[in-house]
Amino acid sequence: MPVDKLLIYCTCPDRASADRIAGHLVTERLAACVTITAPVVSVYTWQEKLETTEEYLLLIKTSQSRYTELEQAILSVHPYELPEIIAVPIAQGLPAYLHWIDECTEPQQKTQ
């Protein structure tokens, strides 16, 4: 059975940014859950210079159908010029958890 869920990786420069992005994504129903890790160290090249930076990693659980909106939401609030947004398909998972992701990311019906 194909699964249409994604695990998205996104790094943030500080805990405040991580909290703000995570809260926004869950409140807007773009993500069912966002796990914020303890600080991690990223080593990368930026503008031809080797960088070593302490960051917070967001592990974002969402449905494929919400990805485009989620990406735009991250871009609109993320402080980085080029934020890491990497989506990995979830191949398998506990069926009840995967169903919960669907429930949490289904857009709310607008009331008249």
**Tens of pLDDT along 6-57?**
999 999 999 999 999 999 999 999 999 999 999 999 999 999 999 999 999 9
Write down the pLDDT at residue 15.
98
Burial of residue 24, with CB atoms counted within 10 A of its CB: 0-12 exposed, 13-18 middle, 19 or more buried: middle
Which tokens in the block code for residue 41? 């160290």
pTM of the model: 0.93
Q: In degrees, to the nearest 5, what angle opens at C-alpha 43 toward C-alphas 70 and 50?
A: 115
Q: Where are the domains of the chain?
A: 5-52+60-105
The CATH code of the domain at 5-52+60-105 is 3.30.70.120
Q: Is the pLDDT of residue 66 over 80?
A: yes
pLDDT greater at residue 7 or residue 1? 7
CA–CA distances in Å: residue 111 to residues 24, 29, 108? 21, 16, 9
CA–CA distances in Å: residue 67 to residues 15, 38, 47, 59? 23, 25, 28, 14
